[in-house]
Structure 1
Amino acid sequence: MNKFLAFTKLIRLKNLIMIALIQVLIKYTLINVYLDNFTLNNIRFSFYLIALILIVAAGYIINDIYDIETDKINKKENQIIGNSISSKSAFNYYYLLNFIGVLFGFYIALSIGKTAFGFIFIFFAFSLWRYSKQHKTSFATGNFQVAFLTALSIINLILFDLVPIRINNENGSLMISKIIMFYAGFSFITTLIREIVKDIEDLEGDQKINAKTLAITYGLKKSKNIVIGLTSATIICIAYFQYFQYSVISTQFEHEISIWGVNDISIIYTLFLQGLFLFFIYKTFKAINKEDFHLLSMLSKIIMLAGILSIPVFTLLHQN
C-alpha cells in the first residue's frame, strides 16, 4: 500500500467526508435558507470546517497509535501504523494536524468576536486524545465521550453561526437552533450505538489485552440487548415525530399550517428511516461473528447518513 493511500485510511477519509457533509447540509440547506443573518460567511465557514476536520483526523491517528497492539489482532493485514506508516510519522501527523486545526479554530473565534470559542477546538483535541488513551479501559465512558463529541460538532454550528447574532424567536434562529439540537441528539444516539457495535466487533482482540469495554464487561448477549434497546428507543422517538407530522397534516388544509418536515413525503421518508432501524434490529438479533458486527457498523453509518439527508429533503419539500 502506498503512503498516500495509507494516510487516507489512517485518517478515515470516508468518515471525514461524512462529517463535512453533515456540517455543509446544516449550513447550506437549513441555516442559510431560513435565516437572513448569520455569522459564518463562505470563507469563515470553510476555515471552521477545516479546523474541525483536521482535529478529527488527528483524533483518528492517535486512536490508531494507542490501538497498535489490539489492531494486530482485530485488523491484522489492514493495520496501517507499523506497516505502511511508522509510529514516529504518525505522531508527527497527529501533532501537525492538531496544531493547524486549533490555529484555524482560534482564527475563526477571533474573527466572530468570540475568542473563548477557540478553546472548544482545544477541548476537542484533548478529548479525542483522552478517549484514545483510555477507552479500552474505561468501560462505556469512551463510547459516551465519542457520541458527545459527535453531537457537539453539530451544536458547534449554533455557537459559531447563530450565538453571535443573538438567538431569538423574532429572527427565526431559535427554531433553527432547536432543529439543529434535534439532529445533534440523533447523531449522539446513532454514534453511541455504533461505538458499542464496534466494541463487540473488536471483542477478540480486546479480550487478549484485558480491556474493559462494555462488550467485555457485559458479554455478547447483553451488549446486543443494549444495542437493540437503544435502537428501539430511537424508533419510539421517531414515531413520536411521525405522530406530530400526522396530527399537523390532518388539520393542515383547514388552518393552512406550513411546518418544516411536515407533509406526506416527509412522513414516507421517516417511515423509510424507521425501516432501516427495524432492519438494523433484525440484523443485530442474527449477528454472531465479527463479520456480522462489521456489517452492523456499516449499516449504522448508512442510517446516520439517511437521517442527516432528511435536512435537505425536508427543506426542499417545505420550500416548494
Structure 2
Amino acid sequence: MNYLKLIRYQNLLLLAFMQLIFRYGFLKFQNIPLALNHFQYGLLVLSTVLIAAAGYVINDILDQETDYDNRPDTIIVGKRISEKAAYNLYFVLNIVGVGIGFYLSNIIQRPSFTGAFIILSATLYMYATSLKQMLLIGNIIVALLLSFSVLIIGLFDLLPATYEGNRAEMGIMFSMLIDYAVFAFVLNLIREIVKDMQDVEGDYNQGMSTLPISIGNKNTSKVVFSLGIIATLILLWYINTYLMEHRLYYAVIYGLIFIVSPMIFFLVKIWNANSKEEFHLLSKVLKWIIFFGILSVLVITLNIKYNVK
C-alpha cells in the first residue's frame, strides 16, 4: 500500500480514466479510422501512467524536507520506503514507460515520437529538481503535462490515421481534444496554485518562490478567483455555443450541475479561504470538476448519438 501511495495511485487512475474515456467514450463513437488497436492503446495509457508515476516518485524523493513541514503524517520516502528503493522504482518506471513509447512510435511508423515520452520524463525530473521552485513556472509545467496527456491521444491515434480524404474530419476531432486540453490546463493550473496556498509555510521554510509566498495568500486568493471567473465564463460560453444551439439539453443540464455549479461553489469559498483545511477542500473540489469535465465528453457523445433532446 505504501508503494501505491507513493505513486499517487488515485491520480494515476484519473489519468488512465481520462485517456480511456476519450478513446472509448468519444473517438470510437465517431466514424473515423484509429491508428492503434485495443492492446496498443492500452500500452499508450500504461506508458503515460508509468512516466507520471515516476514523476511522483522523484518529486517525493527530492521533497522530503518540505513534506516534513507541510504534511509530516503522510511522508513515505525515508520513513516507510527507503530512498534507495524509491530511486530504483523511479528508474524502472521511467525505463519501462519510455520503452513502451519507443515501441508504439515504431508501430505507427513515427519513431521520432519517442521524443515525446523522453521530454515528458525529463520535464518531470526538471520540475522536481528546480522548476517547481520558480514563480508560477512549476505550476504551469504540471498543468501543461496533464494537457499533454490529452493531446498525446491525437498524436498516436488520430494523426497516423489521417490522410487527404479525412483531414477535415480528423481536424475537428483534434480540435475537440485541444478544447479539453485547454480546460484541463486552466483548472489544473488553478488547483496547483491552491495547493501552494495550502503548503505556503513549508515552501517558505525551504526557500521556494511560489505565488502565495511572493504576494501572500490573500492576494493569491484574488488571482485564483479571477482565473476561476474567466474559466467559468468560458464554460458558460461553451455550453451556450456548442450545446444549447445544438439542443443537447441533457449535456447542458449535466454541465450546469456537475461542472459550473461546483465552480461557483469554489469561487464563493476561495475569496475568504485562509486555512489549510479550506485550501485542501477547494483542491479536492477542483479535482472533482476535472473528473466530471472529462466525463462530459461521454455525456455529449451519447446525447448526440441517441439524439436525446
Task: Tell me what 2:174 maps to.
Answer: 177
Q: 1:61 to 1:167 in 2, by over 3 A?
A: farther
Query: Equivalent of 1:306, from 292, 300, 303?
Result: 292
State yes or no: 1:197 paired with 2:183. no
Report the more deviating stretch, 286-295 or 58-67.
286-295
Deviations 1:54-88 (A, max 9, x none): 00000000111111000001111210011100111
- Aligned-pair CA distance for 1:240: 1.2
- Aligned-pair CA distance for 1:40: 1.1
Query: Equivalent of 1:207, from 204, 223, 231?
Result: 204
Deviations 1:119-164 (A, max 9, x none): 1000000000001111442111010011111111110011001111
Task: Tell me what 2:240 maps to.
Answer: 243
Q: How does 1:1-320 map to 2 (within 5 A)?
A: 5-166=1-162, 170=166, 172-245=169-242, 248-249=245-246, 262-272=247-257, 273-320=259-306
Q: 1:55 to 1:247 in 2, by over 3 A?
A: closer
1-side partners of 2:7 and 2:124: how far apart? 13
Consecutive unaligned residues in structure 2, runs of 5 or more = none
CA RMSD of aligned residues (A): 1.4
1-side partners of 2:199 and 2:80: how far apart? 22
1-side partners of 2:57 and 2:243: how far apart? 46
Number of corresponding residues: 304
Kindly provide the amino acid, as one letter, of the partner of residue 224 in structure 1: S
Kindly provide the amino acid, as one letter, of the partner of residue 271 in structure 1: L
- Aligned-pair CA distance for 1:174: 1.6
Task: Tell me what 1:254 maps to.
Answer: none
Q: Is the 8 A contact 2:243 2:251 kept in 1?
A: no
1-side partners of 2:284 and 2:86: how far apart? 26
2-side partners of 1:144 and 1:70: how far apart? 20
- Secondary structure in 2 matching 1:139: coil
2-side partners of 1:222 and 1:61: how far apart? 32
Kindly provide the amino acid, as one letter, of the partner of residue 130 in structure 1: M
Deviations 1:23-56 (A, max 9, x none): 0000111111103311011011011111110000
Kindly provide the amino acid, as one letter, of the partner of residue 110 in structure 1: N
1-side partners of 2:195 and 2:110: how far apart? 37
- Aligned-pair CA distance for 1:167: 6.2
- Secondary structure in 1 matching 2:25: helix
Q: Is the 8 A contact 2:58 2:87 kept in 1?
A: yes
2-side partners of 1:169 and 1:139: how far apart? 46
Consecutive unaligned residues in structure 1, runs of 5 or more = 250-261
Q: 1:271 to 1:124 in 2, by over 3 A?
A: same
Q: 1:246 to 1:97 in 2, by over 3 A?
A: closer
2-side partners of 1:67 and 1:225: how far apart? 28
Deviations 1:222-262 (A, max 9, x none): 1111111111111111121123147624xxxxxxxxxxxx5
- Secondary structure in 2 matching 1:286: coil
Q: Is the 8 A contact 1:136 1:206 kept in 2?
A: no
Q: Is the 8 A contact 2:2 2:80 kept in 1?
A: yes
Q: Which runs of 4+ in 1 moved over 6 A?
A: none
Report the more deviating stretch, 60-69 or 269-278.
269-278
Q: Is the 8 A contact 1:54 1:101 kept in 2?
A: yes
- Aligned-pair CA distance for 1:17: 0.2
Identity score, percent: 35
- Secondary structure in 1 matching 2:26: helix
2-side partners of 1:79 and 1:11: how far apart? 12
